[in-house]
Amino acid sequence: MSRTARRVALNGIGLLAAFFFAFPVYWMVNTAFKSADQFQTYVPVFIPDFTLDNFTKALNQPHFIDFVRNSVFVSFFTVLLALVVGFLSAMALARLRFRGRKGFLLLVAVAQMAPFEALLIPIFLTIRNGLPGPLGFLPIGYNQVPTLILIYFIFTLPFTIWSLRGFVAGIPVDLEEAAMVDGASRFQAFYKVTLPLLAPGLVATSIFCYITSWNEFLYANTFMSEQTNYTLPVWLVSFRTFLGTDWGATMAASTLFTLPVLFFFLIIQGRMVGGLAAGGVKG
């Protein structure tokens, strides 16, 4: 085969592969914009007539607002909790030498690989009646939404520490010292020099935590019994009981659910490839 023919063939294969990756996504969006008689045909319609009916229907599902609120609430506080606790540990690991540091580092690395699928039963048995002792007052337990915050917190904490530690270590201590030579206090040096440099790392890490908690299904499905306490993934999977076989509305709901993830994912995508050494980024 000549060089040109080979090149054309390879690019053709590349486009074919791109087609297979893109088609399901295209089909989701396509169906979401179809009118009812368009998605109920044997011969599929490839160009929708861009009706918004399906989105209206999805948004008007009973409790839809509850599901969105639960998902946002859980994700937000998971990110906050993981970031605060993770940041403290990351700082200690990146900037301080202390006895047991390596042991702690190993603990974080192993915790990141914890098989939460195998820990479902004991976690369920442990916190279905709330937390023990002095923490008993917290609204944690079976069918209580904040429980999911606690669970996603432990899901995301190891990665948060690992990731932030890398970002902090990447900022030279010399920069802060230089700022202090120029008369800044230690707090100012941190606030004005380190923190702005750390911002991309904080953003990337919180997006990871957000995506993990936004997408999680197993624990949400196990712990939430009442429909008003469902998160979006639980609702989406049990859609048949809500929407029957209304694929238009289902795809519209799926599109709405996916959009924020896609948006944030695009921001951190480059880092996720680079961060392979940290492992466990698939969630």
- Contact between 53 and other proteins per CB under 8 A: no
Using CB under 8 A as the binding rule, the residues of this chain from 97 to 126 that contact other proteins are 97-98, 101-102, 104-111, 113-115, 117-126
Using CB under 8 A as the binding rule, the residues of this chain from 55 to 84 that contact other proteins are none
For helices 3-32 and 247-274, the axis angle rounded to 10 degrees is 130
CB 141 within 8 A of CB 67: no
DSSP letter, residue 276: G
- Contact between 137 and other proteins per CB under 8 A: no
Using CB under 8 A as the binding rule, the residues of this chain from 229 to 258 that contact other proteins are 233, 236-237, 239, 247, 250-251, 254, 257-258
Q: How far apart are CA 167 and CA 180, in angstroms?
A: 21
| Amino acid (one-letter) located at 153 | F
- Contact between 150 and other proteins per CB under 8 A: yes
Query: Nearest-CA neighbor of 220 among 238, 198, 202, 247?
Result: 238
Window of 48-56, 59-67, 201-209, 261-269 that interacts with other proteins by CB under 8 A = 261-269
SS3 label, residue 257: helix
Q: Which two tokens stand for residue 231?
A: 């998160």
- Contact between 202 and other proteins per CB under 8 A: no
- Contact between 1 and other proteins per CB under 8 A: no
Tell me the number of residues near other proteins by CB under 8 A. Answer: 108
- Contact between 3 and other proteins per CB under 8 A: no
CB 63 within 8 A of CB 53: no
Query: Any idea how long the chain is?
Result: 283
Candidate residues 47, 96, 134, 137; the one interacting with other proteins per rule CB under 8 A: 96
- Contact between 225 and other proteins per CB under 8 A: no
- Contact between 192 and other proteins per CB under 8 A: no
Distance of CA 115 to the CA centre of its chain: 17
- Contact between 267 and other proteins per CB under 8 A: no
Distance of CA 279 to the CA centre of its chain: 15
Q: Smallest distance from the beta carbon of 280 to other proteins, in angstroms?
A: 7
Q: Smallest distance from the beta carbon of 249 to other proteins, in angstroms?
A: 11
Query: Nearest-CA neighbor of 75 among 146, 134, 124?
Result: 146
Candidate residues 52, 173, 191, 244; the one interacting with other proteins per rule CB under 8 A: 173
Q: Smallest distance from the beta carbon of 61 to other proteins, in angstroms?
A: 14
